[in-house]
Copies of this chain bind each other. A is one copy, B any other.
Amino acid sequence: MGRRGEHSKSEIECMALEAAEAIIEGEGFDALSARKVASAIGYTVGSLYFVFRNLDELIQRINGRTLDQLYAGLIEALSDCRHPQQCIYALGGGYLAFAARHPHRWRMIFEQQPRDDNLSIEIYQEKMDRLYELMEIQLKALAACPEEEVFIATRALWSGLQGVASMTIGRKPDREEEQWAQKLSRHLIGHYLAGLGTTQFNSRVNQSVGRLIDCPK
């Protein structure tokens, strides 16, 4: 059991997560194995399974940490914006910057879903909801929409950003690739929000009432 006893269970857990992340960042997630992680922290594979049920759980814990870091990055990205529209651009910019900086770990969230569905729900749901909420707040501030419209608009915009990232940011993104992603994202957000605005504009013309941007039925 190698050096078991030198570290607590939670210390081994953290060491393993960090070692695994370094392997993924450096070589991609295909290169991840229990053997490599154990060897990197000087423990046996057996010790690793003392801490994680299986490799699947280790992967989902890493995905959870990546989502936490993404969330922190987006909070940071929001620190300078004032107007909701500007903040939505900031969310898009922050998301793409994160994907470009950590391409392997970002892809792993979507491409390495656990086989055990319960494990997935357990780890992801809250963290995903928290990301959606960042967009929801901005859309609510921007538009007088029924709850259901804000719900759909939030998921449509996040999906759009996700699609832009996955279609543009490869496994070894360079500056040019990220700039193209940012350009596409601003284009998509801009026209989408203008579209929400159009409907309001028409409804304002018809009803002589309105807010800055409104949502259609």
Contact = CB atoms under 8 A, between A and B. Distances in A.
Contacts of A193: 195
Interface stretch (A16-24, A59-67, A148-156): A148-156
B195 A152 contact: no
A164 B156 contact: yes
Given A155-B184, A183-B152, A171 B201 contact: no
A187 B113 contact: no
A167 B167 CA distance: 14
Contact of A164 (B159, B184, B198): B159
A145 to B, nearest CB: 12
Contact of A159 (B156, B184, B191): B184
**A111, A168, A194 pick with most chain B CB within 10 angstroms:** A194
Contact of A190 (B159, B161, B183, B195): B195
Interface residues of A, number: 34
**A152, A187, A197 pick with most chain B CB within 10 angstroms:** A187
A163 interface: yes
A192 interface: yes
A210 B188 CA distance: 22
Contacts of A197: 195, 198
A165 to B, nearest CB: 8
**A111, A162, A188 pick with most chain B CB within 10 angstroms:** A188
Contact of A191 (B110, B156, B170, B201): B156
Given A113-B171, A156-B184, A192-B192, 13 more contacts: A111-B111, A153-B187, A155-B167, A158-B163, A159-B160, A159-B166, A159-B188, A166-B166, A190-B195, A191-B192, A192-B195, A193-B195, A195-B196
Interface of A: 110-111, 113, 152-153, 155-156, 158-164, 166-168, 170-171, 183-184, 187-188, 190-199, 201
What 8 A-B pairs are tightest by C-beta distance, nearest first?
A163-B163, A191-B195, A195-B195, A194-B195, A159-B163, A162-B163, A198-B198, A160-B160
